[in-house]
Chains A and B, each alone.
Chain A
C-alpha cells in the first residue's frame, strides 16, 4: 500500500485543483455572458424584482392565476415534494380538500375540468408552470374578479403558452409568474 500512498495523495491534490477549481471557475466565467449573468434570470415589474423566471411563487389571491400546491409552500430557500404514496389515505383526503377549495373559489367549474396538477404537489415544490388546461380553468374567476372580459384573459393565457420544445418534444406549459405579471400590466 505504501508504494501507492504518496502518488495517491499528490494525484488527489492536483485533481482537486483541476476538477473543483479550474473547471467551475471557467464555467462561472462563461456564465457571465448568459442572460442572467450566472445569477439566475429575474423578472422585473414596475422597476422592482418580483421573482425568478424559473422559480414558482405562491399565488393565493383570487385575482391571480394560482400555481400548483407546494409541499414546501414555495419557500425557495429549500425544495422538495410531498413524498406521499399514491394509496396514502391522509394524502387522498388532502387532495379532496384541495378540490373542494378550488371549486369554492371557481364556481361553475366541474371536477372533470380540473387537471390533476392543480390538486397535486410538484416534485420540487417550486414548479413555475401549469398546463394550458390548468390556466384556462381559472380564466372565468380571474376575469370576474378583475372586471375583465373572459376573452381578454383567455387571449393572455394563449400568448403565454409555450409549446413543446422545438414544437415536437414534451408538454406545453404556461409560466404562472409571467402570466400574472402580464395580467397586472393589462389596462382595464
Chain B
C-alpha cells in the first residue's frame, strides 16, 4: 500500500481514537460530572456572574429556543456593523476597505450560521480585526450554539424530564470553556510550531530569486484555523483556504486540521451513548453514518486517483492522480478524503479546489451536503439525523401496524408534520434557488451587477450548472465550500444565498428541538415485547434507507443535469 493511502487511513483511525474518549468527556461535562478541566470552573462562574445569568433556572424547549435566537440576533447585528465599518476600525495594517452592504449581509449571516460561504477573499476583503473579532468569535459561538442545541435534545430524550431541560446558557458557555477553547488552544500551538503565522504584522515584501517584487499576505492565522476546523466552520484566513501554504503548511498540519474538523461531530455521536447510557444505540447511529461516509468516499478516491481522462489522452502521466487545483504536499488521495469529510461534516474548508475535481467527486461532495447528516456539523449534524430517525420510526411503525414509539414516547401527527417539513425544507430551498438563478443567468444576462449574470459561470455547459447547484447546496447545508469559479460576489448571490443560509440553519435547529421538547412532555411508556427496538442493525438499515430515498429522490434530477452528465461526456 502506498504512503498516500496509508496517510488517509491513519488520519481516520486517529480521529476515532480521539473521538471516543472525547465523547465520554463531553457527556460528563453536560451531565455535570467531575472532569479534569474543572479547574476552569471559576472562569465559568465569572462569565455567568458578569452576564447576570442564573444557571440553576431550568428551561423548557421554548425558552431554550428563545435564548438561542435572541443571542444569535445580537451577533448578527454586531457582525454586520463591524464588517461595514472595518475600514475605519483598528488592526487593519493592509488598509483594506469596508464591505459593501450586500457582501456584509452575506458574510455576517454566513459566519453566524456556521456556514462561512465567503464571497470575499480574506487577503483583501477582511481586516485582522474582523478576522478575529467577528469571524473567529463567530466560529466559537456558532459551534457552541449547535452543541448546546444538541445537548437540549439529548436531555429531552431522558426519562421523566418534561419541561426541565437544563439551562441554555450553561450548555452554551461550557461548550466553549470546556470543549472548544481548550482544544483550540492546543491545536493552535501545534500550528504555530509548524510554520503557521501568529503575529499581527501586515503584508511583507521581498525580491524573489528572479528579481520580481512579491507581496506576501499573512497575519495571526494559527488561532483562527484551529477553531475554524474544530467548530466545523471552515471560513479560512486566505482566499485559498487550507490549500494556502501558510494556512496549511505541511502534512502534519493537514492531518491535525482533518482530525480537528471530524472529531467533535463523531464524538457527539458517542457522547449520546454515554449520556443516555445507550451505547448500542450510538453504535448503530455511528455505523449508519460511517457506511454513508464510505459510500461517498470510495468513488471519490477512485475518481481522483485515476486522474483526468482528458489529460491522460494528451499523454501526460498522472502517477498520483488528478492534480488540477491540488497541492503537491497533500496529493490527490488526501485531497479526495478531505473533500468528502469537509462536505459531509459541514466544515466547508478546502485543501484542494472542488471546482476542478472529477465529476464523480463533485457528485459525491454535493450528495454529502444534500444528506448533511453523515456525522454532520458541530451539534447540527446529529439534529439533522434526528429528523431522519423520527421519520424512520414512523415508517417502521406503519409497516408493522403499531403506534410508532421512540425511546418510550409516542410519535404522533404533530411531530411527524414538523419532521416532514424539516426534511423537505432542504431540497426546497436548494432547488428553488437553483431554478431562480438558472432563469436569471439566461434571461437577465446583462443585468448591471458587480458580476453580470452572463459572466457568472467559470465553465461552460453542465459544469457551469453544477457551479450554481453546488452554491445553493453548500448554503442550505451551512457548509461554505464552493465551486469557487462561480462569480458569486454580487448582489444576487449575496442576498439569495444569505436567505437560504439563514433558513437552512435555524429551521433545522427549531424543528428537532420542538419535536424533542414535545416528546419529553408525553407519557413515558415502558418497553414491552411490541416496542420497536432502536438499537438494532435492522433499524439502522431503515434509517439509511429513509435517508437515501429522501436525498436521492429529491436531488437526482438536478445531479443528472450537472455532474452526472459531465461524467458521461468526459472521455
Binding site for B on A (CB under 8 A): 1, 4-12, 14-16, 18-20, 23-24, 26-28, 30-32, 34-42, 45, 48-61, 64, 68, 74-89, 91-92, 95-96, 99, 111-117, 119-131, 133-134, 164-165, 168-173, 177, 180-181, 184
The answer to whether B210 touches A23, judged by C-beta atoms less than 8 angstroms apart, is: no
10 shortest A-B CB distances, which residue pairs?
A31-B198, A83-B485, A123-B243, A169-B7, A111-B315, A85-B463, A81-B353, A79-B240, A38-B198, A38-B199
For A169, the chain B residues whose CB sits under 8 A away are 3, 6-7, 10-11, 251, 255
For A126, the chain B residues whose CB sits under 8 A away are 240, 244-245
The answer to whether B210 touches A64, judged by C-beta atoms less than 8 angstroms apart, is: yes
Give the contacting residue for A59; candidates B206, B210, B318; CB below 8 A. Answer: B210
What are 20 sample pairs from A and B whose C-beta atoms fall under 8 A apart?
A1-B70, A24-B136, A26-B185, A31-B192, A68-B328, A74-B214, A77-B123, A78-B123, A81-B240, A86-B310, A87-B463, A112-B315, A117-B328, A122-B327, A123-B325, A124-B238, A129-B329, A164-B251, A171-B3, A171-B320
Does B495 belong to the interface (CB within 8 Å)? no
The answer to whether A11 touches B458, judged by C-beta atoms less than 8 angstroms apart, is: no
Kindly name the residue among A12, A37, A54 whose own CB sees the greatest number of chain B CB atoms within 10 A: A54
Taking the closest CB of chain A, its distance from the CB of B242, in whole angstroms, is 9
Stretch in B270-278, B354-362, B391-399 touching the partner: B354-362
Binding site for A on B (CB under 8 A): 3-4, 6-7, 10-11, 47, 50-53, 66-67, 69-71, 74-75, 78, 121, 123-124, 132-133, 136-137, 140-141, 169, 173, 176, 181, 184-185, 188-189, 192-193, 195, 197-201, 203-204, 206-210, 212, 214-218, 220, 222-224, 227, 238-240, 243-246, 249-252, 254-255, 307-308, 310-311, 314-331, 334-335, 350-353, 355-359, 458-463, 466, 483-485, 566, 569-570
Closest A residue to B312 by beta carbon equals A116
The answer to whether A86 touches B356, judged by C-beta atoms less than 8 angstroms apart, is: yes
For A64, the chain B residues whose CB sits under 8 A away are 209-210
For B324, the chain A residues whose CB sits under 8 A away are 81-82, 84, 86, 91, 116, 120-121
For A168, the chain B residues whose CB sits under 8 A away are 3, 6-7, 10
For B485, the chain A residues whose CB sits under 8 A away are 83-85
The answer to whether B353 touches A123, judged by C-beta atoms less than 8 angstroms apart, is: yes
For B210, the chain A residues whose CB sits under 8 A away are 57-61, 64
Give the contacting residue for A31; candidates B10, B124, B208, B222; CB below 8 A. Answer: B222
For B132, the chain A residues whose CB sits under 8 A away are 20, 24
The answer to whether A116 touches B323, judged by C-beta atoms less than 8 angstroms apart, is: yes
Give the contacting residue for B121; candidates A39, A78, A177; CB below 8 A. Answer: A78
Taking the closest CB of chain A, its distance from the CB of B248, in whole angstroms, is 9
Give the contacting residue for B217; candidates A32, A76, A81; CB below 8 A. Answer: A76
The answer to whether A170 touches B330, judged by C-beta atoms less than 8 angstroms apart, is: yes
The answer to whether A11 touches B240, judged by C-beta atoms less than 8 angstroms apart, is: no
The answer to whether B328 touches A131, judged by C-beta atoms less than 8 angstroms apart, is: yes
For B189, the chain A residues whose CB sits under 8 A away are 27, 30
User: In the bound complex, how far is the Cα of B193 from the Cα of A126, in angstroms?
Assistant: 21
The answer to whether A99 touches B316, judged by C-beta atoms less than 8 angstroms apart, is: yes
User: In the bound complex, how far is the Cα of B215 from the Cα of A91, in angstroms?
Assistant: 28
Closest B residue to A164 by beta carbon equals B3
